[in-house]
Chain A
Amino acid sequence: MGFREHAARVRRILGIVLAVLLLGGVAAVLVAGGDKDKGTATKTVRGVIGSEKAEFFADPQVVKALADKGFTVGIETSGSWDMEELPLDGYDFAFPSSKGPADELRAKAQKAKGKATTAPLRPFYSPLVVVAHSAAARVLADNGLATLGPRGTSGSLKMDAYLAAARADRTWQQLKGSSGHAELSGTLFITSTDPVASNSGALYLAAASYVADGGRVAGDKAAVTRTAPLLQKLVRVQGAQQSGSDAPFRDFISGVGNPLVLVYESQVAAQLLAGHPMGDLVVLYPDTTVNSDHTLVPLTENGRALGELLSTDPELRKLAVRHGFRPQGAASEFTTATNSHTAYLNQTLSGVRQAPVPTSAVLHEMALRARDQGDTA
């Protein structure tokens, strides 16, 4: 009651809080919905997003572009898989980093509110890639695990051959050409994030299981069981895993981590577009990979309008490209912006097959089993 009576003040406080949140790109304050300004000047929308998009929403140019179209966006970040645990009241949209959690969120919203939410929108996406130091990439290529482009700064990772090597516990020392590189020793593996907590780690397993199971998407427990021993190997060799994709990439840049690290293409592209020198980095596109489809689930009309805007507004699409994302639809924006970086980026994703992602439930089970914690009945 008191709350309603002081609605104006609450709005003002909310405004301050949102300003802070927008500056920081982080959020934690909840205010019950229903007090939203219905005026035509500014639509204030709130959403929960995957952390990899926090920098995009915090970018002052993005804030300005949204304001020009009448939007003030407050965001909270959450692991894509953790969003399902959040109460959805009071949000205008949810923006996880792949389709699986988006489908679950949509189903949950429909069930909870009987809301006929409109279809999810996918304003932009980014494929998973593997970054390698040049010596590691060359050894992989010399041993039939990868092919490299003419400049040697990008290429393709042969997933079949890689998984066969993983199955056989192949070490770097067993690969020809590795001697003389102290860092190339021990079991050959790709560093990923924790698949239970983080989207990119889970999508890595999705791609691996698709390849290992002869090009079939895991649809049930039996399918998960078939590939679990291999997926356990992929995870177990890594030891402690990070819970976000930024840290392993930073270790890589610093020259101290594992020589093969799974990242989003957008992380590499953002560095290239910012003009940073890339050192001896090589981008390997797995011949079968998974796209991280940043999927916006509208929960209100305003949320839907924001999704439309992100999908269609040329300025916002351009800004998404600057953060390394590929806008959906015509590829020209991404290819134009990255034209001087073709030594690293496979602009058209030629020769890269997209593995479909299992449902959220199956992927959860897959991640738990890979970490040796699932139902092993």
Chain B
Amino acid sequence: MNRAATRPADPRTAPRTTPGAARRVTARMRRTAAGTVARLAGGRGRSGASRAARGATAALALALLAGACSGVDGTDRPDEHGMEFVPGTLRVLASSELADMEPVLDTARRETGVTVRLTYTGTLDAVERIASGEADKGYDAIWLSSNDYLRLRPDTAKKITGETPIMTSPVALGVRPATVARLGWDPAKVTWSQLHRAVADGRLTYGMTDPKRSNSGFSALVSVSSGLSGAQSALTQADVHRATPKLKEFFTGQKLTSGSSGWLATAYGRRSDVDALVNYESVLLSSFPSERLTVIRPTDGVVTADYPFTLLASARPEAKDAARRLTNYLRTPAAQDRITKSTLRRPVVAGVRPAAALAQDQRRELPFPGSRAVADGLLDAYDNTLRRPSRTVYVLDTSGSMSGDRLDRLKSALAELTGDFRDREEVTLMPFGSAVKQNEVRTHTVDPDSPKAALDAIRSDARGLTASGGTAIYSSLQEAYRFLGRAPGDTFTSVVLMTDGENTDGDPASAFDAFYRSLPAEQRRTPVFPILFGDSDRGELDHIANLTGGQLFDATKGSLDGAFEEIRGYQ
């Protein structure tokens, strides 16, 4: 039976939002994947380890190729040599929070001889890479927080095999104890309706990852939609529609967004004005002591990650064998005990006690949507209707050194990015050389009724960029803050800085530091996301990111589109 052919998205449950909007979601996700692949191929990220992994992969591939040939040409030694060469290394595409498993995996290597190389990625990016076949080329397995979204994709069904859940962790809220006290809550008995009420009354704010990039954000979106719609079984479009007014109110409380749960926790740590954090129970408990956050699992239901170690169907037999040895080990009582104690996830083997910090009262498990139409409809509603809109200034270096290939790359990256802007989003392109090129600064807002107009205008502005002048990084950044300060609004506000060189004109770094520190508290919450490109100075840009609570993205070895796309998760 062809499973792939029998699982189309049901047209009868198609989203009520415009089909165009749904298509945009898919197109965006596809681009996300492509961008990530390009960046990884270029060696950004945990470059040392992943470069080493790629080297090993190439060697392995060559060895196997030699082995495969030998069966035909009569020299069989390379084949056995190839077998010896395989040191039982599994190349695994993994959710970023699994970094806390590395000590357990070190022990696993000693016990089983299987080395695991984790390459971190967002859940939905990984799904795209599996669907496109990219994952088959560089990986043996995937290890995501959940395969729920993967299962909704008919184009991935034949590409995976052998799913082995290793541990579980529900998506929960960590709330400051003072807030819990102020609201008069018993943390063991809080419902989604109470959370919604507190937000609507202006008494609760929180941070949550972008549901389109991170499974914890997606799970929270499913949970709160179920909770506020009163859905008694798997969520439908009708449920989402019914809950939309309340969901809108609930998402006014989201003050922090992020493409990854790690950055979210850091950003949350910087802010004293955000009351709560949505994340896996394990991340909340591990990152914050109980006097800083009280973990609340809403009593009307949670969505739980079960971390299935999943083989790619394309993996070689020896990789499949190694995976089985690994998962057999990870399911031993000793390993499960270690996992729950060191990562605060819940064991999946009978008889192993969950770590003492984990509350034992059970929760209803909210069903994950059963069709892709519902899941994508929910994501689309979040982006274009439910969440607070984004407001972003792109501070773009168009100095003389950008002329030629670099400017072309910037233009094409901006054109690519344009398809990604959400309804209601305000986008400002602020090109600079020796100073901000004031007569080229343009602001467009994506009108939900006719999104094309603004998007076309942004594309046209991008095409018109020209390179000239010096590089006034710090003066231009100040200009961006001044621009944003003139019309403050209820938005996710951020600055993206793209430069290909060091500061040559205008104010020095110290002047920017002083300027930033003099800003009102509200404006100091606007982060700058600098992109390392061309000959820009990593130290300089890192300093800007650290000062403003942003994060540095590296496009020197990968693609500029990839960096722009990755930043989307933080806007």
Given B152, B164, B233, B364, which contacts A237 in the complex, CB threshold below 8 Å? B233
Count of chain A residues with a beta carbon within 8 Å of a chain B beta carbon: 72
Whether the pair B321, A256 counts as a contact (CB closer than 8 A) is no
Q: Is A81 an interface residue (CB 8 A)?
A: yes
Pairwise interchain contact A251-B168, C-beta atoms closer than 8 A: yes
A373 near B324: Cβ-Cβ < 8 Å: no
Contacts of B363 in A (CB 8 A): 182-183, 256
Q: Using CB atoms, name the residue of chain A closest to B10.
A: A372
Q: In the complex, which residues of chain A have a beta carbon less than 8 angstroms from the beta carbon of B152?
A: 240
In the bound assembly, the distance between CA atoms of A27 and B130 in angstroms comes to: 21
CA distance in complex: A156, B99 (Å): 44
Q: How far is the CA of A10 from the CA of B68 in the complex (A)?
A: 11
Q: Does B566 contact A (CB under 8 A)?
A: no
Cross-interface CB contact of B351 among A79, A133, A241, A276, cutoff 8 Å: A276
Interface string of A241-256 (1 = CB under 8 A from B): 1111011001101111
Nearest chain-B residue to A373 (Cβ)?
Answer: B6
User: How distant is B423 from chain A, measured CB to nearest CB, in Å?
Assistant: 27
**Is B444 interfacial (CB 8 A cutoff)?**
no
* Residue from the list A28, A133, A251 in contact with B348, Cβ < 8 A: A251
Beta-carbon contact of A196 and B1 below 8 Å: yes
B350 touching A276 by the CB < 8 A rule? yes
| Complex: A185 Cα to B233 Cα, angstroms | 10
Given contacts A82-B1, A237-B234, A243-B151, contact A279 B362 (CB under 8 A): no
CA separation between A136 and B190, bound complex, in Å?
Answer: 22
The answer to whether the Cβ of B111 comes within 8 Å of any Cβ in the partner chain is no
State which of B34-42, B243-251, B268-276, B296-304 sits at the interface with chain A: B296-304
Selected from A51, A85, A278, the residue in CB contact (under 8 A) with B350 is A278
The answer to whether B232 touches A187, judged by C-beta atoms less than 8 angstroms apart, is yes
A361 to B83, CA, bound (A): 43
Q: Is A28's CB under 8 angstroms from B306's CB? A: no
B102: Cβ under 8 A from any A Cβ: no
Nearest B residue to A251, CB-CB: B306
Contact residue range for chain B? Answer: 35 or more
B367 nearest in chain A by CB position: A239
Q: Is B317 in contact with A187, judged by CB distance below 8 angstroms?
A: no
CB distance from A257 to the nearest CB of B (A): 5
The answer for the CA separation of A25 and B232 in the assembled complex, in Å, is 41
Q: How far is the CA of A253 from the CA of B300 in the complex (A)?
A: 21
0/1 interface trace, chain B 525-537, chain A, CB 8 Å (1 if under): 0000000000000
> Is the pair A255, B346 in contact by a Cβ cutoff of 8 Å?
yes
Stretch at the interface among A14-22, A116-124, A209-217: A14-22
Complex contact B301–A250 (CB within 8 A): no
Complex interface bits, A53-93 against B, C-beta within 8 A gives 1, otherwise 0: 00000100000000000000000010101101100000000
Q: Are B320 and A256 in contact (CB under 8 A)?
A: no
B317 CB to nearest A CB, Å: 5
B76 close to chain A: CB less than 8 A: yes
Q: List which A182-210 residues lie within 8 A (CB) of chain B.
A: 182-187, 189, 194, 196-197
Q: Is the CB of B350 within 8 A of A279?
A: yes
Query: Given A29, A181, A246, A254, which contacts B317 in the complex, CB threshold below 8 Å?
Result: A29
A308 within 8 A of B: no
Query: With the chains together, A77 CA to B8 CA distance in Å?
Result: 25
B516 part of interface (Cβ distance < 8 Å): no
Binary per-residue interface labels of chain A (342-353) against chain B in the complex, 1 for a CB within 8 Å, 0 otherwise = 000000000000
Q: Could you give 29 example pairs across A and B, Cβ below 8 Å?
A: A13-B71, A16-B83, A20-B318, A21-B317, A24-B321, A77-B161, A171-B232, A182-B364, A185-B300, A185-B364, A186-B366, A237-B367, A239-B234, A239-B367, A240-B151, A240-B369, A246-B165, A247-B308, A254-B168, A254-B304, A254-B306, A255-B346, A258-B365, A277-B351, A371-B7, A372-B10, A372-B12, A373-B7, A373-B8
Given A81-B1, A277-B350; 20 other pairs, CB 8 A cutoff: A13-B76, A25-B324, A26-B162, A28-B317, A85-B1, A133-B362, A181-B362, A185-B364, A186-B366, A235-B370, A239-B234, A241-B370, A242-B163, A243-B157, A254-B168, A254-B346, A255-B360, A256-B306, A276-B350, A373-B7
Considering the complex of A and B, which 10 residue pairs feature the smallest CB-CB distances, nearest first?
A239-B234, A239-B367, A24-B321, A237-B233, A183-B362, A276-B350, A250-B348, A240-B368, A187-B233, A277-B351
